[in-house]
Chain A
Amino acid sequence: MSELQPHIRIDNVTKSFGSYSAIRNVCLDIPRGSFTTLLGPSGCGKTTLMRLIAGFDEPDSGSILIDGAEMNGIPAFRRKTPLVFQEYALFPHMTVYENIAYGLKLQKVPRDEIRRKVGEMLEMFGLEGLGDRQPKQLSGGQQQRVAFARALVTGQDILLMDEPLSNLDAKMRVEVRNELRELQQRAGITAVFVTHDQDEALSLSDRIAVFDKGRICQAGTPWEVYFKPDNAFVADFVGTANFIPGEVAAVEGGELVVRCEGAHHRVDGGGRSFSQGDQVTLVVRPECISISMEAGPEGSAGKGWSGEIMSSSFLGRMVRYRVRCGSMTYDVDDASPSVRGVLQGSVRLQMDSSKIHVLLGSGEL
């Protein structure tokens, strides 16, 4: 029970279906009280890992530990790992009240206490008065709240959630995820959350584990994952990124001078070792490039690159441009579009060197 011991430890777990490896050598520590998100594209094995944690399936090798206790061979109904299912899985033959009360009933909680606890849940999730309804008489959002209530009512300190928000509309998702985060922090629950929505992952999580093809590509804080991706997949999957191939021209302490597209950039090496002549890829987020109208020959010529706008899309809070510079095409965000209106024609791009991230290698995905 020490603070250092992870609440859930996934230790070198592998799981195959027939000849297809759905989970490959996954290691992940999930600290107590944290909100950890498993993020990855469809079919990468997120649900599979959740099912392994909940005990619906057994890993082929490796082990899952909860509070330091090995879970292999422990059946699902002994694990105390409530899961909110992707498709809710509300019992259609029970009312909302009975659905929420089911877990308590199994624990032989006295009737009065069940009534009290379920009542609390109904209130907390804004479901007052709906207790007698059948699940199919509820809207999608209400069903989803019932699913949460059912998982939370037993008061376990773990909550697993498999894309619980995927059936809600965009506005509702944002609302619910904020409530969810608040609730989790208030109750000190260790939450494991699955999503393929990067916004959701970035906004909710203490830690994000990015999945691809059954492997964990990177695990870290949202900040790390976004600004210091370990590889091109993570950089591309989380947010949008420009990949610019380059070569290390010089190493000066922790800093590198990288030559690319005929310009030199002084960037932070991120504590990793590079040597002169390495092929590298610069990862630059669209919002880290500033865009301005070509100032003409007398202006700050030589600084940045000049390019040609190919297309633009208006996203409300910003405008995203596609700009061609020589052989490269960049995604660039302009965060204050209202001031200038949509730009056209020749522009000048400048990069904020401090927000450039360097990856070793050619940046193939």
Chain B
Amino acid sequence: MTSSALRNAWLEIRKLKHEPALAFLIAAVTTITCFFVLWPIAKVVSFPRPEDYLQLFTNSRWFQAALNSLFMMAISTLSCTAVAFLFAYSIARLDIPFKGLFRFVTLLPIVSPPFIVALSYILLFGRQGIVSKQLLHANFDIYGWHGLWLVQTITFFPFAYAVIYGVLKSLPVHLEYAAHNLGATRWQVFRHVFLPLCRPGLAGGALIAAMNVLADFGNPMIIAGNFTLLPTEAYMQMSGWFDLSSASVLSTALLLPALALFFANRIWLGRRSYVTVTGKESSLKAYPVPSYVKWGLFACCLFVALFVLAVYGVLFYGAFTKTWGYDWSFTLQNLKYVAAKGTELYNSIRYALFSSFAAAVLGMILAYLVQRKRIGFNRLLDFLAILPGAVPGVFLGLGFAMAFNQAPLDLSGTSAIMILALTFWNLPTCYSASSAGLQQIGSSLEDASLNLGAGSFRTFRNVLLPLLKGPFLSGLSVAFLRSVTCLSVIIFIYSAHTSVGTVSILNLVQNGAWGGASAFTAVLISIAFAVHAATQLIARAYDRRKS
């Protein structure tokens, strides 16, 4: 079995002698990916001495941080999954108004900076908060785990929603009719048929949410106060004491559960794939639910939706307010802040453009090699391409900082390291998009092109590239958004010259400059959305031309 696999690999590799350029490409891509994915990880994990790792258990502060991380992961994942299910069920199954609004609300947090909810939360409920101070004249202590819990729920439920909704939509409705037909009540159908069928979706959604919660850096930085978590503690060790060893230990402690979740999710998705294939979308209408249930769920959705809208509303309001909490008069003063930080903004966009483009190209090439070229180590390449997705942002940032600050490649403080880190951080996103796109294209198209006399490169260019434009663009645009709004990866690698918008916002927040922070965030989101909308338009125009 393995010997025949090796034989086949050898045969395939031997064929490459007719296409030396392809062979070179494979070698180059493999080397580059190995170097920028494995090397930083190895560097971080191997940096501390073995006994340093023991401190995780002996150092009570660290142990507490680890416990806190797990605790937040548990409760936020639960709440994210619950809210996500609420939205998914309401949108997929209920005949309610405002579905467009609800869909929009499930999209917003995905494409926003990771700390925006935390920032708004302070603006709403903090000591100078518009709700707490102006409306209720109360003073809450919002810093700590409960504030973080709420903020993470709002920030990460959309990720779970995407998965759960996908499964709910493809559930065969006729099974429920069959159960009703056999005499089951609505509640029994829900419990005995609907929920069991949803379970894969719920589990998948929960895993995605858990991964994001665990790796979350921006929200805890802003709102957790003295409640330390692994990512923030790692950052403290690094920025406060330049203690690489401690930062490495803490990041590695974060990496292990992250990897476990990630691969659980991969396996889960793999298992699910054939469930959804058979569950073809039905034109049957779902069995109606009683109206008090329906409107009850609707009210819940509306409440969450309004909260999310308030998050964004207050941010834009804050951007044009003189002194939050004291002087509510209109001003453009805050935008001047932003203008003064023009370099950072420029860097944000520049790095995002370069890195998303690089990630999209590399992701597409990798997807092509992995899926279409039998080269003997396809699974290794696949693993390398998705691995950065499992690595928490802080870990990756730390890894780049430690791996590329000396020979053979000293990049510390350069733009190159920022772009490279963001590129490989986004690689899994783009790779998955291209991979999914490739799976839609039957391999017989390429066979046909080869058969007519086109070599691998021409086939790729003439046949695959035009058909992959859609996934390429969508991967590119998501990567761009993620890069512009990224904080965790770059917090360890930026320098005075290469600082970006999100870092400035963090500084403004830490100095209590809410107005400036809001304005900066508002500008950043606007730019990100403008670019996102532009790529969407291009993609749509392309689709229209195609049909």
Q: Residues on A close to B: CB < 8 A?
A: 16, 18-19, 51, 54-56, 58, 60, 73-78, 80-83, 85-87, 89-93, 102-103, 106-107, 150-151, 154
Contacts and interface: CB of A to CB of B under 8 A. Distances in A.
Contacts of A58: 11-12, 15
B448 A93 contact: no
A85 B458 CA distance: 20
B22 to A, nearest CB: 10
Contact of A83 (B15, B451, B466): B451
A100 to B, nearest CB: 10
Nearest to A99: B448
Nearest to B374: A57
A87 B11 contact: no
B359 to A, nearest CB: 24
Nearest to B7: A60
Interface in B444-467: 444-445, 447-455, 458-459, 462-463, 466-467
B546 interface: yes
Given A16-B4, A58-B15, A83 B448 contact: yes
Interface in B207-252: none
B4 A85 contact: no
Interface of B: 1, 4, 7, 11-12, 14-15, 18-19, 442, 444-445, 447-455, 458-459, 462-463, 466-467, 546
List the 5 shortest-distance A-B pairs measured between CB atoms, nearest first.
A103-B452, A89-B444, A76-B450, A89-B448, A93-B466
Contact of A77 (B12, B14, B445, B450): B450
B448 A73 contact: no
A76 B12 CA distance: 12
Given A89-B442, A89-B445, A77 B451 contact: yes
Contacts of A76: 447, 450-451
A54 B7 contact: no
B451 A73 contact: no
A91 B453 contact: no
11 contacts: A54-B451, A60-B4, A81-B451, A87-B444, A89-B445, A91-B463, A93-B546, A102-B452, A103-B452, A103-B453, A106-B454
Given A19-B1, A81-B451, A154-B452, 7 more contacts: A75-B455, A77-B459, A86-B444, A91-B448, A93-B463, A102-B462, A106-B454
Contacts of B1: 18-19
Contact of A75 (B19, B467, B546): B19
Contact of A73 (B15, B455, B459): B15
Scoring B14, B447, B452, B459 by chain A CB atoms within 10 A of each residue's CB, the highest score goes to B452
A86 B445 CA distance: 11
B448 A78 contact: no
A92 B462 CA distance: 12
Contacts of A60: 4, 7
Contacts of B463: 91, 93
B447 A106 contact: no
A80 B452 CA distance: 7
Contact of B453 (A56, A86, A93, A106): A106
A85 to B, nearest CB: 5
B442 A87 contact: yes
Contacts of A82: 451-452
Contacts of B467: 92-93
Contacts of B448: 83, 85, 89-91, 150
B342 to A, nearest CB: 42
Given A18-B1, A58-B11, A75 B444 contact: no
Given A58-B11, A85-B444, A85-B447, A75 B18 contact: yes
B453 A154 contact: yes
Contacts of A55: 450
A251 to B, nearest CB: 48
Contacts of B455: 75, 77
A106 B458 contact: yes
Nearest to A92: B467
Contacts of A91: 445, 448-449, 462-463
A87 B459 CA distance: 18
Nearest to B444: A89
Scoring B11, B18, B450, B453 by chain A CB atoms within 10 A of each residue's CB, the highest score goes to B453
A151 B11 CA distance: 27
Contacts of A87: 442, 444
A154 B450 CA distance: 14
Nearest to B441: A92
A93 B440 CA distance: 14
Contacts of A77: 449-455, 459
B453 A80 contact: yes
A73 B11 CA distance: 8
Contacts of A150: 448, 452
Contacts of A78: 18, 453
A56 B445 CA distance: 12
B447 A89 contact: yes
B447 A54 contact: yes
A349 to B, nearest CB: 49
A107 B1 CA distance: 40
A72 to B, nearest CB: 9
Contacts of B449: 77, 91, 102
Scoring A54, A76, A92 by chain B CB atoms within 10 A of each residue's CB, the highest score goes to A76
B546 A107 contact: no
A107 B452 CA distance: 9
B389 to A, nearest CB: 30
